[in-house]
Amino acid sequence: MGRPMAHNLASAGFQVLGWNRTPAKAPPGVAEKRSIEEVARDCQVVATMLADDAAVESAAHVLYEHLPRGATHLGMSTISIALARRLAFEHAARGQRYVAAPVFGRPEAAEKKLLWIVTGGETDGLATIFDALGKVSLSLAEPWQASLVKLTGNFVILSLIESLGEALALVEKGGIDPREVMRFIGSTFLDAPAVRGYGGRIADTELEPAGFALVLGLKDVNLMLKAADELRSPLPLAGIARDHFLAALARGRENWDWGGLASAIRESAGLSPVRRG
């Protein structure tokens, strides 16, 4: 996700410096730096798009020390609400600003500048950055609230994947082609891009390559459940989906799309994880 986003910022005329844990990944127009320190010293806005809490917190410790006073850490990753609170506190204590801006959209949406962005915190001066990436669809007062909405949105998508996985396995066991059923569902009472996209891939059992990997889906569902614990709001469906993630990952499917949790549903129904023929 970070690579097309950085490319779009450079294409919009921003001077973009980049760092990646794997060298030589910078897109055209982005000056690759050897360390986060180099990026932080030379930028007024540093955006992070990293895989998990550990990676974001590791980068943040460098930003605390090297980001100038008055500069902004723009957090665009999917992280826990606890970490979002911590980042806001630590940056404020150093005269810096933390703004959460997690995004919705698969990599192809990032390439086309069609990301939906949820912001949390004071966003003065950031509108042109957001415009180069997509559209701010919701603005909230606190960074942790934006992180919570991101987890909530992912929970809705996950619930859709879980429901479609169960429903399509059921009709296949009844001798009905799930692809026909999915075309019906996606063109009538659930006519929406996410339904057609995820449902189509599940019906076709086309679960590779990953737009969003199974292992990252497990990470997100664990963050959802942590948020539910903290806010005392049950998410029983998230627990069911977590078990299906674990079952699929136990069979070595780390690089499958997170829609691949449907493979575990299929197996529990006595079907092959991927349809043959």
Active site residues: 150
Return the H-helix or E-strand segment holding 62: helix 53-66
Query: In this structure, how many other beta carbons lie within 10 angstroms of the beta carbon of residue 23?
Result: 9
Q: Which tokens go with 173?
A: 């066991």
105, 114 in Cβ contact below 8 A? Answer: yes
The DSSP annotation for 213-275 comes to: BHHHHHHHHHHHHHHHHHHT---HHHHHHHHHHHHHHHTT-TTSBGGGHHHHHHHHTT--SS-
Q: What is the C-alpha separation between 213 and 254, in angstroms, rounded?
A: 7
Half-sphere exposure of 262 toward its Cβ, with a 13 Å CA cutoff? 32
Phi-psi region of 153 (alpha: psi -120 to 50; beta: other; left: phi over 0): alpha
Amino acid letter at 87?
A: L
Helix axes 236-250, 214-231, angle to 10 degrees: 150
Report the DSSP beta bridge partners of residue 16. Answer: 30
Angle at which helices 143-173 and 214-231 pack, to 10 degrees?
Answer: 120
